[in-house]
Structure 1
Amino acid sequence: MSSAPLRYALRARYANVFPKPTKTHTSAVTATSTNIPKSVFRLSPLIRITLLSLYIALTVPLPFLAQATDAQVPPKFLWIGISIGFIGLYAVLTERVIVDDQSIQVTYPVWVPRLLRKGWTLPWLDVKELKPRSTGQGGLVYYFLSQDGKAYLLPMRVAGFSRLVKVVETKTGINTTDVRPLAQPWMYLILLGFTLLLLLIDAWTIITALGMSQL
């Protein structure tokens, strides 16, 4: 009697008991084919208003005080410096993050010099991981690490940050559950409140300086 039928019977009987192992994907970062619409994320208006207002509150009284105290630096030079600084700060705050099916990119308007702020583009397929780094103030920032070892800072002050992070997770497969904005909105609200108080003090300072200059 041939043993072939017996071998086939044993193989069929134990096939379900000892199934063949299946291959699993162990990569931590896997780009998905999910289609997403092109989206543009801009810096939060609350952050822009707060920082610009704080700059004005800290600098505008200086020319008036220089005029009232006959300082060696002419007020017009201070006005020029303040204007240049304001334009530079505004340029930094025009940062935009653009995401689509292919990549994430950080851009600035064409009038912003590349020497001041230079954007970048990173294809989703080149993203290796999202690495946290601690800041001097105790916060956390995150960097994209590309396949060639370059680091790209994840913009963390944009409006709709949670939606941006969701796109990153969808397109890269990286778990972004613990990724949080660098600063919460209430922090900027407190700073804005103190800035408005400082502007009131500035108004009193300017009125006093103008009165002194007329004496």
Structure 2
Amino acid sequence: MTSADSACDRFRISPLIKVTLLSFYIALLSPLPFLAQATDAPISPAVLMVLAVLGALFLGAGLGERVQTNDEGIALVSPLPWRGWTLAWADIKALKPRSTGQNGTVYYFITEAADRAYLLPMRVVGFARLVRTVEAKTGIDTQDVTPLAQPWMYLFLLIMTFFLLLMDAWTIWTATHLG
């Protein structure tokens, strides 16, 4: 996959998903350094802060992944060096569904050398177009392939995260003013 490919499509992770997951991460971890200080926890608030920032960087990098397709194949391009893959269309033999623990379904590309399966990225903008491209290039029937989560689910999580952030603000204020 080179950037010089003329028929290259790029599919990025949905901004709604990015904002929701980063906000949820912040909501979960932001009170911890303040609570550690207020309770004289054995771990330093500074260490918690550094670890939270490091985790946010990794999460942000993971959310920076994108899928690229062209006439030769499909690739998951990641800023994280240990992630990412490239598959030629001719090597893809099937899309295999797998149930998730939350009663959803994910799909894996199965190749001729069935020693490894590759997860079909499902949280991208233009998922329906990506699936149509996979069907056109591989001949695999993708009629039953649907996104793992609908946008309204992420919107609901974002709204709940907002309320959690309000609770975090109260927790931080309490920890710094009453502790």
TM-score for the superposition, normalised by structure 2: 0.93
CA–CA separation in structure 1 for the residues paired with 2:28 and 2:90: 45
1:144 and 2:109 matched: yes
Shift of 1:93: 1.0
Using the aligned pairs only, state the percent identity.
59
Counterpart selection for 1:134 from 84, 99, 103 = 99
Shift of 1:196: 0.3
Q: Which residue of 2 aligns with 1:178?
A: 144
SS in 2 for 1:67: helix
Shift of 1:212: 2.1
Q: Which residue of 2 aligns with 1:120?
A: 85
What are structure 2's unaligned runs of at least 5 residues? 1-5
1:95 and 2:69 matched: no
1:203 and 2:173 matched: no
Counterpart selection for 1:190 from 156, 163, 166 = 156
Shift of 1:154: 0.5
Shift of 1:65: 1.1
Q: Which residue of 2 aligns with 1:70?
A: 40
1:37 and 2:7 matched: yes
CA RMSD of aligned residues (A): 1.2
Q: Give the length in aligned residue pairs.
A: 173
CA–CA separation in structure 1 for the residues paired with 2:117 and 2:44: 44
SS in 2 for 1:54: helix
The Cα offsets for residues 141-194 of structure 1, whole Å up to 9 and x where unpaired, read as 111111111311100111110010010011111111110001000011110000
What are structure 1's unaligned runs of at least 5 residues? 1-35
Residue identity matched to 2:57:
I
Q: Which residue of 1 aligns with 2:130?
A: 164
TM-score for the superposition, normalised by structure 1: 0.78
Give matches, 1:13-92, under 5 Å: 37-92=7-62
Looking at CA atoms only, which structure, 1 or 2, has the larger radius of gyration?
A: 1
Runs of 4+ that moved beyond 6 A: none
SS in 2 for 1:98: strand
CA–CA separation in structure 2 for the residues paired with 1:120 and 1:92: 14
